[in-house]
Structures are given as C-alpha cells and as structure tokens.
Structure 1
Amino acid sequence: MMSKSWFNRLLLSYMPIFIIVVTFTFFVFFQLISEQGRKEAINANSMLSLQAMRLIDTSLKAIDNMVMKESINSKPLIDFFNGKEGGDPYVNISAVMKMKDMIAYYPLIDSIYLVRYDDQMVLSNATNGHIGTYPDKSFIEQYRKSASQKWTDVRTFRQFTVLKGKKVVSLVRGAPFMTNEKGMIVVNVAADSLQRLVNELYDSEVSFIRIKDGAGNELLKQAETVESMRIYADYKSSYSNWSYISGFVQGTFIQTVSLLYNAWFVIGLLMIGAGLVWMIYISRRNARPVEQIVSRFSGYMLPLAGGRTNAGRIDEFVFIESALDNLTEQAKQYQQQYKEDLHLRTRNLFHQLIEEGSALTLEDWRREAERLQLPVPAAGHSIIVLEMDKYGEFCSRYSRNDQNLLKFALRSITYEQSSRFGYECWAEWTASSRLSVILFENGDEVDDKRLIQLCDSIRGWTEQNMKFTISVGIGDPAVHLFEIAKSFNQAIEALNYKMVLGENRLITREDMMSQSQVEVYSYLGIIRSAAQSFRKSDDSWRALLDDMFSQLKQGLLTKDEIMNIINYLIYSLGRELSGLGKEYQIMWETGSLPKLTDKLDKCHSLEEMHEAITGEMTELGETLSDTRYNGQHAGIIMEIRRFIEAEYVNPNMSLEYLSEKFNINAKYVSKLFKETTGQKFIDFLIDIRLYEAKRLLAETRRPIQDIAEEVGYTSAISFTRVFKKVVGTSPGEYRLETQREFKG
C-alpha cells in the first residue's frame, strides 16, 4: 500500500512535465507542417493569379486578332463600310450574320456593333439606327476622336434604351484597318463572362481574385468585403494594363494558422519555462525521499522499477500513439494538397514552353522539371499535336465521363508508343480536342524517320482500337528553348490545313510546301458565274462548281479561308435569287439556306462540302424550274423564247416587235420573261447573238462587219461596243486570242 502510494505520487509529480513536453512537441510539428502548407498555398495562390491573367489575356488577344482579321478579310464587313446612305439591305444582313458568327465562335463576346461614318449609321447584331439615337453615342464620339489600340476600362453599355445597362469592356478597331477613315468596329465583352471564366479557377469560400482596370475600377463582383480579404499576390498585365489581385478570405484555415502561429509559439515557450520550474521544485521536494527509497530498496529496485515502468508506460504510449495519428492525418492532407499544386505547376510550365515571349530560361526549366519529376531538357526536342477528328460528333456521341476516359487512353498510348520508339515524352491537353506532346531526343541529331514512324503508330493504333481518328501536326525540330514555341505553332498551323489535306493523317511542313498556295480571290469569278448560271437554270453551274472544288483540293487553303469562299458562294446565290422576285427570295431564305447551312456545319472535308452544296442546289434548281414553268403564262413565254432563238438575226427584234407579233403589251412581256426565265429579254437576246458571233470569229475569217450583220446588228460599231462590254475584249482581240490558243 505504501509503495503504490509512493509510485502514484512520483507518477503524478512528473506527469505534468511529460504532458507539457509532448503537447508542445505536438504543436511544434503541427505548426511547422501548417506553416509549410501555408507557404505552398500562398505560392499556389500566386500561380492562380498568373493563370487567371494569362487566361483572360489569351481570350482577349484571340478576340482582338479575330476582329483585325475579319476587318481585313471579311467581305460582308468591307461591303458595309463601303456602303452609302440607304445602302443595300442584304449587305446589312450579311454584316449582321458575320457578327453573329463572330459571337458564336467566341462566346466571351457579348455584343458587336459597326459604325459607318459616311451616313452616321450604327449596325449591331441586334439592331440598327443613327448615331444620334444610339444609346452608346458618347462612347462612339469619344473613340472616334481618340482611337485606342487596347481594351477600354470597364463601362456600362446599353443596347436598347428600355433595357438596363451591363458592365462591359470594349475593343475599338477602325475600318479599314490601316486608315480608320470609314468607320469603326466595337466589340463588347461582358464583365459577367470574365467573372464566369475566372470563377472556374478557384474556390470563392477560401480564396479570391480581384481584377481592376487601368482606372482602378473593379471588373468582378466580390461576395466578400474588402476588410475580410488578405492580399498575397498582385500582378499587372502588360497587354490589358489590368491588375490581378488575389489572396485568401479572412477566417479560412490559412488565416487562422497565420494568426495563431505566434500565439502558440509564445504559449510553448511559457509551457517549457513552467515545466522547468516544476521539475526543479519536484526534484528538490522528492530528492531526499527518493534517496531513502533507493537506499532502503536497493535490492528490489530493479524488478520493482521494471514492473512499475511497464505499468506506467501504457498510458504514455497511448497518448503518443494518438498524437502521432493526428500528425499523420495532417501530413496526408498536406500531401494531397501538394499533389494538386504539382498538377497546376506542371500545366503552367508546359504552357510557358509553348508560348512565345515567355521569360522562362533553360536553367529554370531544368530546375522546375527536376522538382516536378518531369523529363529534363535534352539536346533536341520534337513537337507534335494530336487533334481528334470530328470532335463535335465525338462530344455528342459520348458522355462526359466516357470522353475523359477515351482522352486518358489516348494520352496513355502516346506515352507507351513514345517509350517503345525510344523517346521520353511529356503530353498535356492544351485544348479540348488537342493533345500537345514534347518529345525529348536522346541522340545528338533528330531522327525524322523515327519521328514519322512514331506518329503513324499512334495514329494507326487509335484508328484500329478507338471509336475515333486523329490527325497529327508535326513541327520542325527544336534545338533551342525559344524554338519550342515556334515548333508548336508550326504543328498547329499544319492542322489548319486538315480540311484540304484530309483527316486521319500526318501533316508536316513538307506536306504544306508541296501544295500550291492559291489566292482566295481567284475563286470569286467562278462563284459569280456559277450563281448566274444557276439563276438562269443553266446546268453549266454544276461544271463550274466541280472545277472550283477541284482547284480547292489542289490549292493550300486554311479552314477559315475555305469557309470564306463557301460563305461568298451562299451570299452570291442569295443575291441572284433575290433578283427573281420575292417569292424566290423567301423560298431561298426559309427553305434551302437553313438546310444548306446545317449540312455545312456537319462537314469536315471538301468532299462532304461539295456533295452537300451540289445536292441542295440540285434540289432547289428543280423547285425553281417547277415554279417557273408552271406559271399562268409559261407557255406563251416559252413560245416567245423559241421565236427569239429562231429569229435572233432579225435587226428589228425588240420588245415592241414581240408585242405586235404576239399581241401582248411590251412591258408585260418584259415582266413575264424575267419571272419565267430568270433573265431579262435583252440579256437573253445578247447571249444568243454573241454565242453565234464568237463561233464565227473563231471558226471563220469573215470580216467583223459581215459577222455583225449575220447575228442581227446593222452596225459593226454597235456590235463591237456590245461585244466588248459583255466579253471584255473587242471582236478582233477575241479572234486573235482564240487562234493563239488553237496554235499553241
């Protein structure tokens, strides 16, 4: 009884010291790990600001480049700015359609409007009117006087006076692009769109991002007050001059740890001091009784102490085990957060390598690669980009989980095949349909043949084992660090020619250089001739389109250039059909045009486009023919047409002559002839006469005066004037050209 009481007394005397030491050790380790986590979280927050800035700058630059390109190349926009007061409404419709296409292609764009200085007209994707009545008049006047080459500060934009204005940032570009004398293009991006773009990058309950324009105005809505935020990163964009400020919301784990860190440290020091004081006090108090016990029970000390020691360590180990469990759980949480940060840093490093103008150095790359356990820089690098073909069909066919699984499989097979061919590989998804790959060359020289074999192996495996195909763009080898971005852009550029060169294949710079570059404008004449022939129900339009698509197949044009040509063809068809009357215009706009547009949206190659356009025009041509020849006076007009074809040599052939011959009013004959045949009477007569005249000029040596009389002209001068106006050359020049072509 006495010994047990003494044991409890000693145990209770030193137990506070043990508890103090273990508790302080626990909090020291906890604070060290928490402080490390806090630093890593702050670094990740800084990377978040940079990522947000690059994401927004990239999106705004893409819109800026698109507006500049469209202002130079888009015919609907050029026609609008070249229009005069009370201009062609179809030009305005084409411009509105182009603006809607631009908005659809770049969802960040909220609205677009065009300003034409000549007649002070404003045309937007939703309305039109005069500058004096447009709600954004003051903005237009301000930037007309002082045009800016950057995005504006945040402002309130109202499309209609009856609607509430919204916060936007605007881009102003003059038209034409170099002189800015005819008008301006204003593109508005809603602040809410930027808000949604940035919100996907972070958790608003833990951290925040604030974006201020050049004037210091807030672009984004903040759920927290300024007092509840603590700023850790502040960057300024060199492109937009906007400031990106990020940090953590007060009250989160990071802020709590930061506030309590110093307090716990002071408490720990006080606990150590108290433990030392308590140890000295207890040691002095129990020194003599301990000595007496040791002297009196020296023979039994070892077994007795051993038993008591074992009994006394049970609770101590339980406490230590509990403390270690807590430390382990905290360490697991830290490791999970660290892995997430590694993924973000990996993607950021990849984008720094493929972006031009990056400040990344070779040493920075090597150091970061070793830290992230990535392949280190080699003597040479090859860049390839794998693009999934028919990505729209892929998205509609598979669920989001299946899409992610198939993309993971494609990325995995890329690593597997690269290893099989002796490459180290680093692959990242840089777009929803594009997997960009950096291959690290182990040898001194780049083996082009082995690279082609690798790319073809990946393409072939995907075609055989997956439900989709891929096209592979290959850039030039990159020896220096700055050449990686250049090689990546070359691979992307190669994929832009996929529509011409075909899908499910490899595309290199040699493939592009082997094709002949053709100017887009060379196709405009063929398109106009085909549209005019179609309006006249002349089957030659089919041969013209076949010839155009054959040339497109041989020429090297990007997808955007091909779509511009197709859009001009659609525009020309609409313009020609509008000249036949309102009935035909409605038939085109409500029936054939929507169906043709829908078919073209689903086309991924020139062959598919050719088939879709030819099929729809054939169907429309049959409908037009039925409409023309089923009219009330179709029989009379056809009889008149046959009469003209037989009597075209008569110099008195005219509407008045036909009126007397068929006992019908001359104006009525003209109207019926145009509605039924799609061509004016005089144009029809000239076509017949000049067709025969060109045959006589090419096949005979008869004088021009005789040929003029032969085809119905009493004067060679009149014949020459009409021939040159329609054909473009005089009869004599035409005869020489045809003879030269025949001889050589």
Structure 2
Amino acid sequence: MMSKSWFNRLLLSYMPIFIIVVTFTFFVFFQLISEQGRKEAINANSMLSLQAMRLIDSSLRAVDNMVMKESINNQSLIHFFNSKEGGDPYINISAVMKMNDMIAYYPIIDSIYLVRYEDQVVLSNATNGHIDTYPDKAFIEQYRNTISQKWTNVRTFEQFTILNGKKVVSLVRGAPFMTSEKGMIVVNVAVDSLQRLVNELYDSKVSFIRIKDGAGNELLKQAEPVKSMHIYANYKSSYSNWSYISGFVQGTFIQTVSLLYNAWFMIGLALIVAGLIWMIYVTRRNARPVEQIVSRFSGYKLALSGSRNEAGSGRIDEFVFIESALDNLTEQAKQYQQQYKEDLHLRTRNLFHRLIEEGTELTLEDWRREAERLQLPAPAESHALIVLEIDKYGEFCSHYSRNDQNLLKFALRSITYELSSRSGYESWAEWTASSRLSVILFANEGAADVKMLVQLCDSIRSWTEQNMKFTVSIGIGEPALHQHAIAKSFQQALEALDYKMVLGENRLITREDMMSQGQVEVYSYLGIIRSAVYAFRKSENSWREQLDDLFSQMKQGLLTKDEIMNVINYLLYSLGRELSGQGKECQAIWESEALPILTDKLDHCHSLENMREAIIGKMVELEDTLADMRYSGQHAGIILEMRKMIEEEYVNPNMSLEYLSEKFNMNAKYVSKLFKETTGEKFIDFLIHIRLNEAKRLLLESRKSVQSIAEEVGYTNAISFTRIFKKVVGSSPGEYRLETRKAEKWLTEHGSEKR
C-alpha cells in the first residue's frame, strides 16, 4: 500500500494542472456563448437586409399592381387617354382626383402624371400642360418608346421649375396596358419615403442598411461614413434589381465580441503554456524515483519473491515491487525479441513485395540496409525479373498432398537458386502466389544479358520437365536498370504469363513473343459468335465450321486469358439467349444440364484446344437432344414442318394461324392449341421471337433504317414493329442498337485493355 505522504505529494503536484484545465474550460464555455451571440447577431443582420428588401419590394409591387389595375379598369384614366385634342375639363378633373386617391392610398407615392401622345398633353396631380413646357420632358422622351417593366434607377424629378428637384424612383406604364399606344403613366416614389420605411427596421447607431439601384447609385442617405461600417450581408432583389447591403457600425456589439474573442484566445494560450510548464516541472520532480529504479535495475536483478522490504514489516516497498515488475517485463521483451528473430522470413517477404509493387517509397539505401540485416543479396547494377508458373495447377493440387506440394515447391525454388548461381547470377525467389514463384536476378557487371537470361530460364524449364511430374511456364520481364524499374519488369513478366493459354504451356514467354504476334480486337469475334449461334438454333451444320474458325482466329490472335474468357462467356450468353426462345423444355435443359456441365469443363481447360473440344462436344450432345425433342410426340412432325415454314417465311407479312391452317389443311384454333402443347409457347410469340431476333441482328450488324429492317422481318408498318419491339425487348430499336453497341464496346475494352 502506498504511503499517505506519497499520495498527497502526487495529488498536490497535479492539482494546479486540474485548476488550469477547469479555468480554461470556463473560458472556452464563455467564448462559445459569445461566439453564438455573434453568429446570432450576424444572422439577425442578414434577416434585416431580407426584411428591408421584402418590405420595399412589396411596397413597390403594390404600387405597380395598383397602377396596372387602375389603368385597365378605371374609367377616368381610360377617358383621359381616349380624349381628343383639347380634352374635356371634367375628364381631366376626374383623372386628377383619381391620381390624388392613388397618392392618398399609397403614401410612399410622391407624384403621378399622365402623358397623352395624341395632343402631347401632360396631366399631373398638381398641374397640366404641354410636353415641351413640362420639366420632366427628357424622361418622357426617353421612356416613350421603351416602356420599362421595372422601376427606374434613382433620379431627380422636378414638378415645377421654381422648386428644387427631388430624388425619386419612377415606374412607367403604357396606356392602354397591352399596347401602350395612347400614352403613359409615370408614378414617382420619393427616396425619402423609402428611407422612412427602412429606418423603422433598425437602429442606425448599431447597424446600417445601404440600398443601391441597378446602376450602383446610393438610394439612402448614410448616417455614418462607409469606412466605419463592416458589411455582413449583401442581397439583390430579383424584382427591382436593387442591392441591399447591411452590417454593423464599428464599435458595436459584434466588434466588442470579436475583441473579447481575441483576448480570451490569448488568455487560453497563456493557460495552456502555463499548464505545460507546470506539467514539465512536476514530471521532472516526480521522475527522480523512477530514475533511481532504472539505476538499480541496470545494476542487478531482484526476484519477484524479494519484493518485501524487511522481514515482518508487513508493508510492500513500492519501488522494489515496480523493479520486480520491470524485470518481468524485460524477460517478456527478450522472448518477443527471440520470436522476432525467428520470424525474419516475414520481413524478407515484405521487402520482396515492396520491391515488386509499384508506388512503394523504398529507397536504395533502405533496401541496402534491410538486405544487410536480413542477409539477402545487396542491390546490384541491374536486375531481371522472371516468374515461374506451375502449369495445370488444379491437377497439381489434386494429385499431390499438401506436404508433397510444399516439398515439390521447395525443390523448384532450390533448383532455381542453383541454376542461377551457375549462370553467374545471385537470386532471390519468393512465392508471390500459390502457383507462381517470382525471382529477382542480380547482375553486378553491367546490364543483364538477355541471351544468358533466356538460357537460364530455359534450363530451369527443361530441368523441371525432365525431373518433375509437372511443367512450368516462365514469364520474363525486361532488365531493370534501376530500382524503381523492378516493379515494371515484374508486371511485364506477369503480363507475359497471361498469354500462356494462346502461346502454349511449358515454354518461355518474353516481350518479343508478345510483340511478334498480331493482335486482334475482341470485338471482331462477336459477329462470328452471333452467326454460329444463329445457325445452331436453325439446326444448320455450318455452326461447327464457324466455331472452328472462331477458335482458329483466337489462336492466331494475341489474346490474354481474361480476353479469351470474355469471348467464351459471350458465346455462352448468346447460346442461352437463343435457346430460351425455343421453348421452356429447351431452356430447362440448357440451364439445368448443359450450362453447369459446360462451365465446369471450361474451368479445368488450360488451352484453347481444350476449350474448343469441350464447347463443340457439348453443343453436339445438345443438338441431338433438341432434335429428339423435336421429333418426339404425336404431332411433332407437323409442328416441326410448321416451325420450319415459319423460320423460312417469317418475312411474309401474311404469316398467321390462318395462313398455316390453309397450308396444312387444319383448323386455325386447333393449330394454335397444337403448337402451344408441343412447343410450350404460343404461335404468335414464336413468330415474334424469330422476327425480333433477326431484327436485333440487323440492328447490330448493319446501318439500315428501322423502316427497312421492319419490312425485312415481316412488318409493313414501322410503328407496329417499334411498338412490339419495345414491348418485348423493353426499349425501342434505336435505343437497343445504341445500348448494345455500347455494351459490346465496353466488353471489347474490358477484355483487350493491356496492363
């Protein structure tokens, strides 16, 4: 049990740090409150700008709507604009009274005047006269031909020449409202009225609002100079195109909060520094007993059983106890260190992968230092990468037990080291995959000799073939003249092995072998596949020749394993799609029997020839099965003839149940029933399927129009063809052509893209 004095000493030592943390927490709390208040004030200021904008816009809109309504409905205004030259005094008086009513109803309106184009008369709420004598003539001439749909910018308006002008914004509306051919109505709103509206919203000692028209002119008088204001919000009205700018006057609450924020921030930093200084001081003072323990520990070891200070004292000496615990931890650390030395091979594999993987940040000096620690070959002037892959690895795993597999792999690795040493190369080999042994060869005298490298690889291959019960294929990368080129050389070796299915097993594959072969785009095989599957569905013998030609072209072309599998998958997909249209029984046979067996066989194929034999053999069996199905049953022969006629004459627009009943001298309803019972699908579905399959082929293999294709497959009307096509396929013919070609292009790029 620790002594009470020691406990009190530690408690009092760290108490100031606790006080500092609590104090700083209070400062942070008050700072958060102040910051929240500042944000709320800024939000309120933004709402002030929005409120001012909405207030002014609503007032102006109300005036605008009133002017439009009165210009359309008020008879006094209509009679004024319809009056002839000279006018009727009563009409003028009525118009003036109406203008006064409008001003009384909307106090923000300063003045209104009417302009009649026919006799150039101007009538306002205060005077009337000719345009030439009216002080606002220039404004009238400016807007006479271009009636503004919104309020004008701020301007000076003079009602009488003897009086000073007044700052106003004006609304100009034509009369009549739709044509504007007889005159115009001008409504002037004094800027002072807008000023009064806005002043009611805020306190000018705390905040401010500035309003600018579309030309950037100030509408309101500023109580404070601009330099003493800080802008926080800026909005633009979509109605008037005016800008509303608001903020706070310097020295207000926001600035005070900002200053307090800076002060609190400095106080917080000071508290943190003080806490760090105190913590360092306390730690140094309390570290002295630990230093004594370390000093004693370095001199001798004390058993855990001797942790009592004095016999019979009944009290545990905490320092001796800590010392004994440290002894125990030290012993465990030694055990971990010993285990670490035994697991050096993990570090070795890690270093190997860092060398062959792109993007690692391993430097040459780090490599040299780590190689020295792990007793590996030091970096050389140049390096070469080869990858040995066990052929038919599935059979290798099935023939040998796990122990035998490990023994054979060890033998392959050992012979690689031995033959490399005889050829003058230091080597470093690691199993980077279950079937692949990757080897780095170190050439200390210039660049690696490619001929010697090929001879070495061939000797490894031939020794394995003669002495082992399996063979290997070897991918060879280009010599790496610097460290970072090792990863590239490794990728080249892997890429070479991808062509093993085409070039053959138990051989060397170099970059020259790949470049010497003529590459063929995967897209070119798709047409052959569709044609062969189509011939298979129609029971034509040409499908075998077409598939033989397909595999022959694939063998001549330079395709990787992934590209070959993409082509084969497309073949299986096309075959399944065609058989799905032959009835439910054909589809069931394909999905439950043929496809699973064929897929399993393809998984165990290691060459194109194996794939060709597996696919053609299974298709021959499937062809016989389908033939037996067609010829079985009481009416199978008749239905077979009907199907053959439909497949040959599907382009005939008159092909129907009635047409077949006449040809076979049978009732149309009976033909329909017989066809459904024998084939599992309706006659019309079978006919549509054949026509649409041919239409799909023409859409993909030709550039013919939809109308032309519709006629070629038995539809006289392209609209009917498009409707049926979209109902069955789910998209229009044009969309199907575009989407399928995009899918085939993706398949081509995905399969033929080179690493």
TM-score by length of 2: 0.45
Larger radius of gyration: 2
TM-score by length of 1: 0.46
